[in-house]
Amino acid sequence: MARTKINERQLDVLRRICHGETPVTSDDSGLAPTVYALRNRGLVTTLRADGRWSAAPTEAGLEYLAHTDAAPTPRLSAPTPSTAPEAAELISRLQQAGGTLRIANPASGERAHWRRALHSARADHLIPDGHHLQHTGRDKGDLVITLCPGPPPRRSTPPDESVPVPDNLPSELLHSVAAAAHVPACPDCQPRARRILHAFCHAAEAKNYTVSNPESGSAASLVISIGDSSFRLSFYEGAYEVPDPSGTKYAWQRVTARTTRPSHQLELSLEHTYAHRGRRSHWGDRQRWRLEDKLPALLQEIAHRAHVEYERRQAQQRKEEETHQRWLTAMQQARTALLEDHRLKALRAQVQAWQEATAIRAYCDALEDHHATPSAAEAVTAWTTWARAYADRIDPVPLNPGLPEPPTTTPEDLRPYLHGWSPYEPKRA
């Protein structure tokens, strides 16, 4: 084919489509113009499913990239000098410093130089026998390089949790959920899709997950439940566009119509939710792997999401319990404050009555001590007699009063004492 030169951005996107682990889809709206430009050159195609497209390389695109990457790249600058002398010097300085070398907050260029020396020391086997190199401060802060005795620590690798998918399986042996699942794929891909779902259902149940079919009318293929969390998975097959000559009347007419054909590339996706934004949600066939290879990663993502949701529920439950406890405390304090006000009101009323009775008696004594005229004496006596009787009636002391009975209260009676809490439920009014 004639190789029309493409720019660097287009070449980077083509490499990502051919060999990148993250698929290029319509979710990457910023890449859409570049993908369309590559498609116009016949280097990629766009596979459409469920209203979204994903880019896939064509044979021409793979050939173009192989030819481009195999061609020698002209050197635009002087070659990078070997770091072997610096690596040897690094080992020597470490031995002289007792095994630890600290470079105080080096500049980015100097930091990169030391990292290259570290890499060269390992690659060229300059590290003394029975030792290994460790360093901290790769990107910021002090760079500390240590020559440690003993072999380098082994990196822990997760166990291989492969999900075996049978090459052939009679329909009567399919898992019941896989057999009843909604799988929008062409007839040629239906058996493989059912086998993948069959293996996935058994692998999920082996982890004590619950597998079920969604309610009728749902576009999902199956539902995985872990505790109180449920996750919908959708199975679909991609498609690609090809010219459609059926609408042309003459052979010389330009074909502008396009039609879609199944790509035989299967994909499983988790339902999009803002609760897990930024997480991977699509797994499918690519140039470097098949969907079957990504089933363990899909199970791990489901487990991760279930754990995140469990932690969120626990945090929400703790928050609600704390709020409820604060509300109960506020309600108890409100009842205590209301009872205190009730007692103070009763006490003030008694003190006021006692003071008034005492003042009345003192007034009566003063009237009686005053030498009234004989004509007024009878009237004064009648008045003081009534006044003393009234003082006796209002004076609380002879009654030996105790604590007053608690008042009958309603939620609204407590509202003034709750400082913004609702008197009916644990929330702010």
> 352-361, pLDDT tens digit by residue?
999 999 999 9
Does residue 102 contact residue 143 with C-beta atoms inside 8 Å? Answer: yes
Q: Is 225 or 248 the better-scoring residue by pLDDT? A: 225
Strands 210-212 and 143-149: unpaired
Tokens of 179: 């057999």
> Is the pLDDT score of 275 beyond 50?
yes
Average pLDDT rounded to a whole number, residues 134-139? 82
Let me know: does 235 contact 206? Beta carbons within 8 Å.
Answer: no
* CA nearest to 238, candidates 47, 6, 105: 47
- pLDDT at residue 73 is higher than 90: no
**Does 77 score more than 50 pLDDT?**
no
Percentage of the residues of the chain whose pLDDT score is greater than 90: 44
Look at residue 315 and tell me whether its pLDDT is greater than 90.
yes
Where in the chain are the domains? 8-68, 84-149, 171-246+253-285, 331-417
SS3 for 132? Answer: strand
Mean pLDDT of 180-197: 92
Instruction: Provide the residue count of the chain.
Output: 429
Q: Whole-angstrom Cα distance, residue 25 to residue 7?
A: 20
| Three-class SS state of 62 | helix
pLDDT(75) > 50: no
pLDDT at 417: 95
Fill in the amino acid letter for 189.
Answer: C
Query: Which candidate, 180, 173, 193, places its Cα nearest to that of 223?
Result: 180
pLDDT, the chain, mean: 85
Segments in 97-129 forming alpha helices (H): 108-123
The pLDDT of residue 76:
38
Residue 174: which residues within 8 A CB-CB, separation 6 or more? 194, 195, 198
**Where residue 79 falls among pLDDT bands split at 50, 70, 90?**
very low
CA terminus-to-terminus distance, the chain:
74
Helices and strands: H and E segment counts in the chain = 10, 10
Q: Check residue 387 and give its pLDDT.
A: 96
In this prediction, residue 157 carries a pLDDT of: 40
The listed CATH number (2.60.40, 1.10.10, 2.60.120, 3.30.1370) that belongs to domain 84-149? 1.10.10
Supply the pLDDT for residue 154.
61
Instruction: Write out the two tokens for 69.
Output: 């990457």
Q: Which fold has domain 8-68?
A: Arc Repressor Mutant, subunit A (1.10.10)
Closest CA to 3 of 53, 62, 49, 56: 62
User: With contact defined as beta carbons under 8 Å apart, do 13 and 52 qualify?
Assistant: no
Cα-trace Rg, the chain: 43
Give the percent of the chain with pLDDT over 70: 92
Question: Would 8-68 and 84-149 be classified into the same CATH topology?
Answer: yes
User: Which structure tokens are listed for 153?
Assistant: 């620590």
Note if the pTM is more than 0.85: no
Residue 422 confidence (pLDDT): 95
> DSSP states of 354-373 as a string?
HHHHHHHHHHHHHHHHS---
